[in-house]
Amino acid sequence: MKAQEIKETIIRFEKELLNAKGDRKSNIKTYIKNLKAELKGNFITVEDLKEFKSLIIWNINNCSYGVNITKEVMTEMLSKVNDKKVFFVTKRGIKGVLTTLAVRTSLRLAEEKLRTNLGLSELVNYSENTELSNFLQFRLNKIK
């Protein structure tokens, strides 16, 4: 988004925040915080990836479901960082953002590799295959 678009979106959501209640209000506040961080240019850098490399690799290995996907996950994370698609709200939040990104990317790529290894398409439901069902439980345990 461009700076002017972001500012307009923030203004629109701040007006909407006045009438929101409960979870909707909380979601809008979070969204506004994220937009402001993006507007400030609080993007994750390659240096941040280097600083937390061991944490990222630990998360990848923890979520890989026995599939070697470290290189693919690191490549995808680097690509997102270089494209300035990953930002943080506060400096203290960088570790959490990188952990979440590593876990989500690892689980997605692990499922893709698992489906490929089993010869299953994306249309096959988890309940139709025991290995996929086991992976679904694994994924739910990791996301908690």
- What pLDDT digit, counting tens, does each position of 6-64 carry? 888 888 888 787 788 888 888 888 888 888 888 888 889 999 999 999 999 999 999 99
Q: Report percent pLDDT > 90 for the chain.
A: 47
Q: What is the pLDDT of residue 124?
A: 83
Over residues 81-90, the mean pLDDT reads 87
Q: What is the pLDDT of residue 139?
A: 92
- Name the pLDDT band for 87 (thresholds 50, 70, 90): confident
Q: What is the pLDDT of residue 1?
A: 59
CB 9 within 8 A of CB 35: yes
Dihedral angle sign, alpha carbons of residues 108, 131, 124, 117: positive
Outline where the chain has alpha helix (H).
3-17, 22-40, 46-51, 53-63, 70-82, 94-118, 130-143
* DSSP-assigned beta bridge partners for residue 87: 43
The answer to whether the predicted template modeling score (pTM) of the entire model surpasses 0.85 is no
Between helix 53-63 and helix 94-118 the angle, nearest 10°, is 30
**Token pair belonging to 17:** 């925040």
DSSP state of 99: H
